[in-house]
Amino acid sequence: MKKILIPTDFSATAINAVKYALELFKYDKSEITILHTYADEVYENTTNKPRDVFQDYKNRVKHNVDKKLKNEIEEMLELSPNPRHKYNYKSQFGSLIDVIDEFVNEHNIDVIVMGTKGQTNNPFLTFGSNAIKVMKYSQCPVLVVPNTFHDLHPENILFPTDYLIPYKRRELKLLSSLAVSFVSNIDVLYVSKSKKITHRQEDNQQFLQESFTSNKVNFLQVHDDNVTETINKTINEQAIDLLVMVNQRHSYLENLLYHSTIEKIGLTIKIPFLVFQNLNR
């Protein structure tokens, strides 16, 4: 059974992520939990208030959140009365990333699915602050879905990699099973100025080949030093509808998430983006 966690702020982007998840995992026996954290809302609206007012407001917020979550579960059941799916909800007073980490570890979550941006929905940003935090710090695969993306069946998956890391078998199994469900094509892309690869890279490439034996896979190598430009070009030319990357220390993706912004780097992501975490649980 796949265990899926969907953080929600009840925005249109969050609802779109729910719809995408329900369709993406429709063939899998899944336990799907929607989650809302409300500490920020309580603190922001009770500044300089007495403790009893704070506690009363906190209780009222939780009541309202639980009501919204129950309504969302009912809408999910109407949208996808899938006998393979079990739906739960959870509201918790706490910071989003702390609550997510605790829940992921406690329930052994396979993947987090969320919208790229929340209620603010800044048109000039690819990802909102919450999505960035979860992609940075979660120890679980994270799938972020743009509000503008509504094609629910991934046909062409792009997996850029430099073959320098040992991949996690569990995460590759997640990708492989998704690709099998929709008969998707996986393009594994290596961008480098050198035409040769090291023994370490050969071994890691072999591990990928063994992990994707049930899939249609192309191993591509582009001789270039501009990774961003090559990824953008491939997404457009190959009609890619799911981008997959691995977050690890000193990686291209870490550079995007930690040291700059995706906007400044120039990576254009208008499709669902699956981030693997090369970290131990």
pLDDT per residue as tens digits for the range 120-174: 555 556 677 788 889 888 889 999 998 877 777 899 999 999 898 878 999 999 9
pLDDT digits (tens, 9 = 90+) for 69-83: 999 999 999 998 999
- Going along the chain from its start, the domains and CATH numbers come out as 2-145 (3.40.50.620), 156-268 (3.40.50.620)
Within 13 Å of residue 253, how many CA atoms lie on the same side as its CB? 23
- pLDDT of res. 123: 56
241 band by pLDDT with thresholds 50, 70 and 90: very high
> Are the C-beta atoms of 154 and 182 separated by less than 8 Å?
yes
- pLDDT of res. 111: 97
Q: What is the DSSP string of 54-84?
A: HHHHHHHHHHHHHHHHHHHHHHHHHH---TT
pLDDT digits (tens, 9 = 90+) for 169-218: 999 999 999 999 999 999 999 998 887 889 999 999 999 999 999 999 99
Q: What integer is the mean pLDDT of 108-126?
A: 76
pLDDT digits (tens, 9 = 90+) for 248-279: 755 666 566 655 445 454 566 789 999 998 75
> Are the C-beta atoms of 138 and 97 separated by less than 8 Å?
yes
- Give pTM, 2 decimals: 0.90
Distance of CA 230 to the CA centre of its chain: 22
Q: 135's torsion region: left (phi>0), alpha (psi -120 to 50) or beta? A: alpha
Whole-number Å distance between alpha carbons of 209 and 172: 11
> Are the C-beta atoms of 196 and 163 separated by less than 8 Å?
no
Q: How many residues does the chain have?
A: 281
- pLDDT of res. 260: 46
281 band by pLDDT with thresholds 50, 70 and 90: very low
